[in-house]
Structure 1
Amino acid sequence: MESTINLLHHKEIAIVGAGPGGLTLARLLQLKGAKVKVYERDHSQEARVQGAIVDLHFDSGLKVLKAANLMDAFKASYIPGADNYRMLDQAGNMLLDEHIQKTTVGFDSEQFRPEIDRGVLRDLLIDALLPGTVVWDSQFVEMAEHNNRWSIKFKNGSIATADLVIGAEGYRSKIRSYVTDIEAVYSGATIIQGDIDNPEQDCAEMYALVNNANLIGMGIGKTIAVQPRANRGLTFYAASLYPENWVSTSGIDFGNADDVYNYLIKYYRGWNPLFFTLFKACKQFIPRPLDYFPLDQKWETKRNLTLIGDAAHLMPPSGEGVNTAMLDALDLSICLTNGEYADLPTAMSAFEQQMLARATTLGAEALDGIQDFAAPTQESIRKLLKLLSQDYD
């Protein structure tokens, strides 16, 4: 507690964004006695579906949950078996089925990557916070600094003040513009996301094929990935390489489910029609161009303002996003409370150097892998099969 008093005593901390990174940071700082509020644009905890499952890794997400004293809660909430992969070719032939592989991998293994529903993870983290920590219906509009304190204005007209602000509101972060003017770059890949609330009824054969696992269908130049949700729903991602601004220039009305369906069945012509049942069952599609922040980005550290997670270092999906955001939260909490730094600017600088160095490495790996995922070749499919099978050789 002595180190907390040094830097955070009498300090009010505002975290903008109630995603895994922001909520994890709030939990870790509250364990150190800090005064924290989390401001979230959603109207309530139940306002929207949080997405599909996410796997947590031994040296990042799981490590952070252990530091936050939340491993027991996680073990009671994760989805056993959902870390298995089922891999198909475009004809629907099973290339790999980890359900039938024999493995003893568990929480004591570095190879174990247990999956949890994103909404369940969010609820778990919120439940661990002091009552009233999350302030809902707080969509950030702007902020200004006066006498080393921030005045933060929200869309609902409310105003909050804080000595320290952390932007944790994802890749569309508005806090980021107060830290740097470095903008995102397009990776070349776009995914079309769909959510199916009642797949047992609307695409029963595909639901059975997923069988509570990560299912991935790969053909030359395009991919379809499907994940379960804790509420028995499914989320799928149809991925490929597209020109920049394709979403706005394609002529597809992404607000019209029939229009998107008609596009997808043409684009995936030659695939097993079973995949098309996913498209037919989906009532709302979301196109997501996959952007990233330049790997060499740097900015001048602010004494009382920083970023974590995608707000700081957006990268293409690689399984590291949530894990890295949670690790950012742990590293920042340590820098602010371990007593090694004389003042906030020094602590913030140390954190940002560590965060950006890690993001550079992980971002390079993500960029190397995005084309293999979104536009596979025979060679990249072979490599992925080998990678997923290596634990069983």
Structure 2
Amino acid sequence: MKQIKDKKIAIIGAGPGGLTLARLLQMNGFEVNVYERDVDENARPKGATLDLHDESGLAALREAGLMDAFKANYRPGADRTRIIDQHGEIIFEDNDNQNREDFRPEIDRGPLQKILLDSLKPETVIWNSHFEGLKRNGDSWLIEFKNGKLLAADIVIAADGANSKIRPYITPIKPFYAGVTIVEGAVYASATSSPEMHKLLNGGKIFALGGEKSLIVSSKGDGSLVFYTGCNTTENWVKESGINFSDKLQVINWFKNEFSDWDPIWLELFENASTGFVPRPQYCMPLDQNWSSLPNLTMLGDVAHLMPPYAGEGVNMAMLDALELSNCFKDPRYNNSGEAIFAYEKQMLKRASETADITMQSTAALHSTDAINFMMNIMGME
């Protein structure tokens, strides 16, 4: 019988979860390639900073032997947090997070991606590989790509994000709308283009809360900042609003109206935004989701357990998935990939359900009338 180590593994998606899994598998002698639709590693802009948690994201990096590289690239002080009300008044600030037991160091997405890419064997990642479809090929798979390439793999792992095209091959279960829509923007060179907000941000992170709305702002190591509003809306609000989100004036007018009881200081973000705005309705996988495991196809990260960002668990969950799946693949207790995948999915689904429950509670609380008290309680100040 062909052992797991002798099988060709294809990971679809070069996000943090997929790259972490590739690194962990290569370290243990597995044959693996990552297929990514982007033409190269710089094809798309990198979003907000990531705070890695000791028991998940950092645990995966430790196992991958990449903590020295992480320490050379993370951003001390970027986890400084200010809770601010809608009128611009600072309610709370936490400037000494490194001494907290739950210290969660921040790293920009770009440097984290580079650390993981540099840790892989040359040609591990096959760029410009846009997944098109899967076909069974005996006990393995044929993977079709939009560029016409056809590739055989013994095991396929979906790491292709929230809008995964592979998930339906595993389960018909779909995410439900979480009740909140985000509008995301970015400001480049914020020190000069948005000086008041740059000063208020102080190199860290802002949680602005009030009127059942949120505005979260994060600094980045390249001198830019990213921000996103959160509002309770209907699922189809983006279309129903009639707003062209690439038209700055339309978005500014929406913000002035929707956040009319907020201090004008917040308007500076929208007036100086450097790119088009991106609306993002938030979804979550059902907390009780389950499916029958397949012997040679599984998934990790947002593909498996999409949830809103209001508990900071997304990238950490994906990297922990990678750690747990790699551990199952190398565990001698499992005789084949089917047994390993079953064991991985059983623990992953239980963990994801618990985390999604916490995340949905946080999402609702941060967009309620008691949001500031909720946030203060999280920071241990209530």
* TM category, shorter: over 0.9
Report which stretch shifted further, 14-23 or 155-164. 155-164
1:96 and 2:87 correspond:
no
After superposition, give the CA deviation of every residue in 1:274-329 in whole Å (9 maximum; x if it has no partner): 11010111231000111011111111111100000110011121111110110000
What is the match of residue 51 of structure 1?
47
1:383 and 2:377 correspond:
no
In the alignment, residue 26 of structure 2 is paired with which amino acid? Q
8 Å Cα contact 1:202/1:281 also seen in 2: yes
1:351 and 2:339 correspond:
no
8 Å Cα contact 2:210/2:371 also seen in 1: no
1:165-176 equivalences under 5 Å are 165-176=156-167
8 Å Cα contact 2:212/2:371 also seen in 1: no
SS at 1:9's partner residue? helix
1:310-329 equivalences under 5 Å are 310-317=302-309, 318-329=311-322
SS at 1:76's partner residue? helix
Identity %: 43
What is the match of residue 56 of structure 2?
60
Pairing partner for 1:14 from 10, 16, 25: 10
Pairing partner for 1:206 from 186, 189, 197: 197
Is the alpha carbon distance of 1:103 and 1:255 closer, same or farther for their aligned partners in structure 2, counting shifts above 3 Å? closer
What is the match of residue 239 of structure 2?
248
What is the match of residue 224 of structure 2?
233
SS at 1:232's partner residue? coil
Pairing partner for 2:151 from 160, 176, 199: 160
After superposition, give the CA deviation of every residue in 1:197-250 in whole Å (9 maximum; x if it has no partner): 222222111112111111111112111110012211111011110011111111
What is the match of residue 303 of structure 1?
295
CA deviation after TM superposition for structure 1 residue 386, in Å: 3.1
| Structure 2 gap ranges (5+) | none
Q: TM-score under structure 1 normalisation?
A: 0.94
SS at 2:379's partner residue? helix
C-alpha RMSD of matched pairs (Å) = 1.5
After superposition, give the CA deviation of every residue in 1:136-164 in whole Å (9 maximum; x if it has no partner): 11111111111212111111222222100
What is the match of residue 77 of structure 2?
81
In the alignment, residue 65 of structure 2 is paired with which amino acid? N
CA deviation after TM superposition for structure 1 residue 81, in Å: 0.8
In the alignment, residue 179 of structure 2 is paired with which amino acid? G
What is the match of residue 219 of structure 1?
210
After superposition, give the CA deviation of every residue in 1:349-374 in whole Å (9 maximum; x if it has no partner): 0110010000010011111110122x
SS at 2:308's partner residue? coil
SS at 2:303's partner residue? helix
In the alignment, the residues of structure 2 paired with residue 160 and residue 208 of structure 1 have an alpha-carbon distance, to the nearest angstrom, of 52
Count of residue pairs brought into register by the alignment: 380
Is the alpha carbon distance of 1:157 and 1:104 closer, same or farther for their aligned partners in structure 2, counting shifts above 3 Å? closer
In the alignment, the residues of structure 2 paired with residue 220 and residue 116 of structure 1 have an alpha-carbon distance, to the nearest angstrom, of 31
In the alignment, the residues of structure 2 paired with residue 57 and residue 249 of structure 1 have an alpha-carbon distance, to the nearest angstrom, of 38
In the alignment, residue 325 of structure 2 is paired with which amino acid? L
1:286 and 2:258 correspond:
no
